[in-house]
Structures are given as structure tokens and as C-alpha cells.
Amino acid sequence: MSKYLKQINYLYKRRRYLIYYFCNVCGSKYSLDEIVWNCSCGNYLSLITEGALKKDDIINERYSLWRYEKALPVKLESSTVTLYEGFTPLAKVNWKGIQTYFKLDYLMPSGSFKDRGTTVMINFLKKLGIKKIVEDSSGNAGASIAAYSAASNIECEIFVPESTSAGKLVQIRLYGAKVNLVPGNRDKVAIAAIAKSNIKEDVFYASHNWHPMFIEGTKTLAFEIWEQLGWDIPDNIVAPLGGGSSILGLYKGFEELLQAGEISHIPKLFGIQAQNCSPLYSMFQGNTKEFKASPTIAEGIALEKPIKANAIIEKIKASGGEVEIVTETEIADALTQAALIGYYIEPTTAAALAGVNRLLSFGKISNEEATVTILTGCGLKASDKISRIPGVFKDE
């Protein structure tokens, strides 16, 4: 057993429970040295930490998310891989006549914000001695996990929907991962990946939607925004919303800053869904009927049954924010508008900007407020799909 695991085990056995997995349905607790990705009751697990980050905890000479190592359950020194992820620019942008901010997370090593969660999760799994993983993804998480698996010598197999952008598939394969195309919706892809995992045969299900370590990485988004705004928080943050890894991470990060006494409250979090696949919007509106989805160009947020749905709604409400929806036309328009001011983003990301347009027109965010939009994924990954969007080219 590694020194790291011995230490975790020691703390757990002494019932100090400094850091452990917790199931909010049945109340079970798990030590971090247990190789699990969900609770035995079937629910997902959360990581309970004594997290709190203070200004003085930041390691200033590290220009990556590892500058916030104090708040992370994995430390850089004992890690296997970093691709120098994080600390992406916070750009001041004039969007439709108002001053706003874009968080340029599409400038990550694998071209999407997922690298935040992946670097923490993969380094943690490596410590556990995991040698082979399977994962399901609409593309970006798959590409990210394939990249970090390659760099840390973990064998990797990614299950993706048949409709995934060609660019993402090329990327996953080039990183050396095996790609499995699965017909049907996103949920069928997850079922196929879980069926392939087998703990007895050392094949671990390393899912960005399930594994608690993923949110530990995405929470650094909150730390960066706070630091880059000069130790301040914006009024609003807008992000594309599918499985919730950015929204849940943002909430956790701000919560830890709140616990440390560094901020006074959590900013309003707005999650934007494609109207064609908007189960969380439906829930937010109080509908209890199961949502039936239709295809959307925002492939990265096309999840019919997000596993952390209740938690996502709860956190968004607690922040004073909302879930909003946008049409396919609005997404395509926002994609073009972004490109015309120099930002080449994928349709999933454009959904967030279409959301900003709606929130502005509804008066839910205003000109006087500071709003940050998370630009989650790079357009280059989806060029094949973008080129087929009717009316997307200005000169046609």
C-alpha cells in the first residue's frame, strides 16, 4: 500500500473522517482507499472534505490549477501527470453592447474545461493503482480522459454516442484510447460503459459524471474567477448545463471560499440547456413528468437523465440563479456572433451565450452587473458539425 493510502486509511480507521465519500441517499460512508465509483445502494457518492481556501494558501509561482493545491484532495508533488491545465484567461468582452467576461476554458490542453476534473480524477486513480479504465462521454470528457490516461500510462476505452463530432473521435483515438461507438441516446452509452467495467478484472469505471474526484477539479473554476477578479466575485455566472460538472464545481468552490471567510456569498449560477434536451429546466419549473429529448447541436449537454439532477437544481436555487433554455436557432446565432468577435467555440458552449442573450432580454441579468460566461469547449472539435448548421456562414 502506498504511503498516501496508508495515511488515508489511518485517518479513516481512527474515525476522524477528515475526508471520505458520502452517499446522501442512504448515509453510507466510504474510505478513500475503497475502489468504488458509486454507493452500494446505486446512488452517486460525494466527497466530503474540510475544504476552505484562503488567499495565502495559493502557490503563486504555479500557473495552473495546481496553485490551489491546498484545497485539492491530490497534491501535485505526489501526482503522475499534469498538462499544466487551468489558470485560463478571464477575458473582458463587449457582448451585445454590454461589458462582460468570458472564462476561456476552451484553451485547456485537450480543448475543454473537462481537463480540470480529469487531472484530479486520473491522478487519484493512478494512486489507487488503477491500470485500466472505461468511460462514457459525448466527446469532450472522453478526449480529456484519454489524454490524461495516455500521459499516465493507464489503458483507456471510451464509449461515445454514434453521433459524436468527428474531431472528438480523432482526438480520442490519437491519444491511444479505444473508441466504441454506441447507437441510441446518451444513457445507452453509459450503460454500455458500465457493463464493460469490472472491478474484479481491474477495469474501473472512471466516469466524469459519477466519480466524486471530478468535481474536486472543476471547483477550481470558482477559485480562478475569484482571483482573476481581484479577490472578488461576479454577480452572475452562466454555463452550459448537462451533467452539471461545471455548475456543481463552481458551487463547491465558492462554498469553500465562503467557509474560509474570503467571500460574502455565492454568485448567482445560471445553467443553460438546449430546449431540445432540457430535463433540468423542466424540473426547475416544477414538472415531475419524465422529459423526452430530441437531438440538439449542443451535443455536450444532451443528457436526458442527469444523475445529479436534484443536487444541481438545489445548488442553482440556493445561489439565486436559474435554469434557462435556448432553441437550436438561438444556439447557432450565438455561435456565429461569438466567432465574429474572435471566439471559435463549439455549439454546446454557444448555448451558454445564447442563454446570456435570453437572460439579458428577460432582465434577469443586467448591464450594471458583472457576468462571467464559461466558454467550455473549442470550436475546432466540432468543425464538421458547425459547417453543416444551416445559415451559419455570414457570406451565404
Contact criterion met (CB below 8 Å) for 59 and 66: yes
Q: How far is the CB of 29 from Zn ion (least distance, A)?
A: 10
Residues sharing a CB contact under 8 Å with residue 327, sequence separation 6 or more, in sequence order: 274, 275, 354
Neighbours of 148 (CB within 10 A): 29
Cα→Cα distances 312→97, 122, 234, 251, 319, Å: 31, 24, 20, 9, 11
Distance separating alpha carbons of residues 46 and 41, to the nearest angstrom = 14
2 closest CA partner among 121, 126, 115: 126
By C-beta, is 4 or 30 nearer to Zn ion? Answer: 30
Q: Angle, nearest 10°, between helix axes 166-174 and 140-151?
A: 10
By C-beta, is 1 or 25 nearer to Zn ion? Answer: 25
By C-beta, is 23 or 71 nearer to Zn ion? Answer: 23
By C-beta, is 46 or 64 nearer to Zn ion? Answer: 46
By C-beta, is 45 or 297 nearer to Zn ion? Answer: 45
Which residues are bridge partners to 160 per DSSP? Answer: 181
Name the 3-class secondary structure at 131: coil
Phi, psi (deg, nearest 5) at residue 197: -75, 150
Cell of 369: 452587473
By C-beta, is 151 or 309 nearer to Zn ion? Answer: 309
Q: How far is the CB of 26 from Zn ion (least distance, A)?
A: 3
Q: How far is the CB of 212 from Zn ion (least distance, A)?
A: 13
Cell of 133: 479504465
Per CB under 5 A, residues contacting Zn ion are: 23, 25-26, 28, 39, 41, 43
By C-beta, is 21 or 159 nearer to Zn ion? Answer: 21
Q: How far is the CB of 46 from Zn ion (least distance, A)?
A: 11
Q: How far is the CB of 41 from Zn ion (least distance, A)?
A: 3
Distance separating alpha carbons of residues 123 and 153, to the nearest angstrom = 11
